C-alpha cells in the first residue's frame, strides 16, 4: 500500500511498478552477495591468489622475474577471472529474475558479451598504469609507504576544496551567481540575512542534461557557497515555451526553494563541512595505519597460500583491502552513514527553527513527486546503506519537531 503521507502524490500503479523494480534489485543484490561469499571462501581454501601469481610468473619466466612486470600480468589474468565470475549473477538476473518480475530485457545476449569484452579492455587501460604506479611507489617509499599515501591523499583533497567548483561544475552546466533583482533573489536574501550568509556566495547552475533536483552547500571561509540547480526551480525558471513537455510543472515554487536553502544553511551553521572533512581524514589515516600493519604481516600471505617469504605487493593490496580490513571498513561505513544522516536531521532542525517546517515538507514531497523513487525501506537496511534519511523519515521528523514545538508553547 502507498504510505499515508504520500497517497496524494503517488498513484498506486506507479508505486506498484517501483515496488516490483525494487524487489528485483534487492533479490539480485542478495544473490550477488551469496555468490561472492561462496566464491571468496573457495578462493581462500584452494589458494587462488598464489595460483594466479604463479601463472603470471611462469608466463614471464623466459623474459623477466621482476615483480613489477609480473604484477601487470597478474592483474590482467585477474580482470578476466572477475569478468567470468560475474556470469552466474548475470544468468540469474536474465533467466530467473526477469521472468519472475516481468521486467523486459534491455539488450540481446550478444550485447552483454560485447559489453563484458569492452569492460575487460577498459579495465586494462586503467589498471595497468595504476598497478605499475602502486608497485613502483611501494618499492621506492619503503616500509612507511602508507603514510606517504595518506599525505598525498590529504593534499589532493585540499586541492579539491579549492578547485572542485572550477573543475567539476562545468561538466554539469554553467554556474553563475543568483541574479540580483529577481523574485527568487529577494526571497533567498531574507533567510540569508537572517543567518548572516553572504548573498554573493549563492549560485545557480544552468544544467545541460541533468533532471535531478538538487541544492548543496560546499566549501569554507571565502570559498563557501550554496549552489542551486535550475532543475530545483519551477519549470527550471524559464518560460514554458522553452521547455520539453516532461519538464513542465517540475520543480519548486520560490518559497519552497527558500526552505531548501534554509536546510543548506543549517549545514553551514553547524559546521558540517569541517566536521565531515576532519572525520574523513581521520578515517583514512586509521585505514592506512591498519593497512600498513596488515600489509607487512607475513602470516596474512601464508594464510592465503603463499610460501614463506613471498610477499607480492599488488596481491598484498588486494587481500588486505578485500579481507583483512573488511571488519573495520564495515563498521566505519556504518558509523559514517549514521553521522551523515545525523547531519541531515540537524539541517532539517535548523530549517524548522527558522520557521520553514511546512514549506520544507511540501518541498520534499514535490521533489519526490517529480522523481517517483520507491519510498519504503526497512529501517536496518536504511541504516546500513543510506546517506540521507528516507522521505518518510524526514516527514515524520518534521512532524515530531512540530509536536515538540507545540507542547513547549
pLDDT digits (tens, 9 = 90+) for 305-347: 999 989 999 999 999 999 999 999 999 999 999 999 999 999 9
Residues 6+ apart with CB under 8 A from 273: 217, 218, 219, 220, 224, 267
Contact, 313 vs 134, CB < 8 A? yes
Catalytic positions, written as ranges: 264, 348
Mean pLDDT, range 369-384, rounded to an integer: 86
The pLDDT tens digits for 47-94 are 999 999 999 999 999 888 899 999 999 999 998 888 888 777 777 776
Give me the chain's average pLDDT, please: 87
Closest CA relative to residue 374, chosen from 362, 359, 357, 386: 386
CB atoms inside a 10 Å sphere around CB 42: 10
Mean pLDDT, range 165-190, rounded to an integer: 85
**Domains parsed from the chain with CATH numbers:** 160-266 (3.30.2010.10)
205-212 long-range Cβ contacts below 8 angstroms, 24+ apart: 205/169, 205/172, 205/173, 205/174, 205/175, 205/229, 205/230, 206/173, 206/174, 206/175, 206/176, 206/230, 207/172, 207/173, 207/231, 208/172, 208/173, 210/172, 210/173, 211/247, 212/371
Better-scored residue on pLDDT, 225 or 166: 225
pLDDT-above-70 percentage for the chain? 94
The pLDDT assigned to 102 comes to 59
The pLDDT tens digits for 291-309 are 999 999 999 999 999 999 8
The pLDDT assigned to 326 comes to 93
Mean pLDDT, range 379-391, rounded to an integer: 91
pLDDT-above-90 percentage for the chain? 48
* Cα→Cα distances 268→59, 228, 271, 303, 306, Å: 56, 15, 5, 48, 51
Better-scored residue on pLDDT, 247 or 143: 143
Mean pLDDT, range 12-41, rounded to an integer: 86
Better-scored residue on pLDDT, 282 or 18: 282
Provide the whole-model pTM.
Answer: 0.85
Mean pLDDT, range 22-45, rounded to an integer: 88
- For residue 113, pLDDT beyond 80: no
Residues 6+ apart with CB under 8 A from 185: 178, 179, 199
**Confidence tier at 124 by pLDDT (50, 70, 90):** confident
13 is in an annotated binding site: no
404 is in an annotated binding site: no
Of 8-17, 192-201, 323-332, 342-351, the range with the lowest mean pLDDT is 8-17
**Confidence tier at 103 by pLDDT (50, 70, 90):** low
Better-scored residue on pLDDT, 95 or 212: 212
- For residue 187, pLDDT beyond 90: yes
Mean pLDDT, range 116-135, rounded to an integer: 84
Closest CA relative to residue 202, chosen from 210, 211, 375, 187: 187
- For residue 111, pLDDT beyond 70: no
**Confidence tier at 16 by pLDDT (50, 70, 90):** confident
The pLDDT tens digits for 212-244 are 788 999 887 777 889 999 889 988 888 877 777
The pLDDT assigned to 109 comes to 62
Closest CA relative to residue 161, chosen from 201, 215, 221, 204: 221
344 is in an annotated binding site: yes
The pLDDT assigned to 98 comes to 64
Mean pLDDT, range 402-406, rounded to an integer: 89
The pLDDT assigned to 253 comes to 92
- For residue 162, pLDDT beyond 80: no
Amino acid at each position: 500500500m502507498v504510505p499515508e503521507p504520500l497517497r496524494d502524490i503517488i498513484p498506486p500503479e506507479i508505486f506498484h511498478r517501483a515496488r516490483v523494480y525494487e524487489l528485483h534489485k534487492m533479490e539480485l543484490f542478495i544473490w550477488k552477495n551469496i555468490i561472492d561469499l561462496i566464491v571468496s571462501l573457495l578462493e581462500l581454501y584452494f589458494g587462488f591468489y598464489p595460483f594466479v601469481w604463479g601463472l603470471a610468473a611462469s608466463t614471464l619466466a623466459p623474459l623477466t622475474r621482476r615483480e613489477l612486470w609480473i604484477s601487470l600480468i597478474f592483474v590482467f589474468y585477474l580482470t578476466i577471472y572477475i569478468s567470468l565470475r560475474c556470469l552466474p549473477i548475470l544468468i540469474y538476473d536474465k533467466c530467473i529474475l526477469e521472468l519472475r518480475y516481468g521486467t523486459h530485457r534491455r539488450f540481446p545476449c550478444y550485447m552483454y558479451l560485447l559489453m563484458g569484452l569492452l569492460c575487460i579492455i577498459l579495465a586494462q587501460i586503467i589498471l595497468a598504469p595504476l598497478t605499475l604506479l602502486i608497485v613502483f611507489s611501494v618499492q621506492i617509499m619503503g616500509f612507511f609507504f602508507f603514510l606517504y599515501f595518506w599525505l598525498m591523499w590529504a593534499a589532493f583533497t585540499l586541492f579539491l576544496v579549492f578547485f572542485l567548483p572550477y573543475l567539476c561544475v562545468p561538466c554539469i552546466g554553467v554556474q553563475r551567481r543568483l541574479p540580483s533583482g529577481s523574485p527568487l533573489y529577494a526571497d533567498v536574501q531574507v533567510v540569508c540575512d537572517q543567518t548572516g550568509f553572504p548573498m554573493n556566495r549563492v549560485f545557480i547552475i544552468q544544467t545541460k542534461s541533468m533532471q535531478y533536483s538538487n541544492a548543496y552547500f560546499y566549501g569554507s571561509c571565502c570559498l563557501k557557497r550554496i549552489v542551486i540547480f535550475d532543475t530545483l526551480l519551477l519549470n527550471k525558471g524559464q518560460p514554458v515555451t522553452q521547455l520539453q513537455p516532461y519538464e513542465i510543472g517540475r520543480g519548486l515554487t520560490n518559497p519552497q526553494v527558500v526552505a531548501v536553502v534554509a536546510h543548506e544553511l543549517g549545514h553551514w551553521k553547524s559546521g558540517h563541512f569541517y566536521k565531515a572533512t576532519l572525520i574523513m581524514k581521520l578515517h583514512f589515516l586509521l585505514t592506512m595505519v591498519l593497512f600498513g600493519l596488515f600489509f607487512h604481516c607475513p602470516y596474512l600471505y601464508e594464510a592465503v597460500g603463499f610460501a614463506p617469504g613471498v610477499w607480492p605487493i599488488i596481491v598484498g593490496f588486494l587481500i588486505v583491502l578485500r579481507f583483512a580490513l573488511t571488519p573495520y571498513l564495515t563498521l566505519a561505513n556504518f558509523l559514517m552513514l549514521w553521522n551523515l544522516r545525523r547531519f541531515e536531521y540537524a539541517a532539517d532542525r535548523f530549517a524548522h527553527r527558522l520557521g520553514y517546517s511546512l514549506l520544507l515538507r511540501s518541498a520534499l514531497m514535490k521533489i519526490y513527486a517529480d522523481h517517483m523513487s520507491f519510498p519504503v525501506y526497512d529501517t536496518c537496511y536504511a541504516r546500513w546503506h543510506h546517506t540521507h534519511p528516507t522521505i518518510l523519515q524526514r516527514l515524520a521528523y518534521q512532524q515530531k519537531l512540530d509536536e515538540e514545538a507545540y507542547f513547549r508553547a
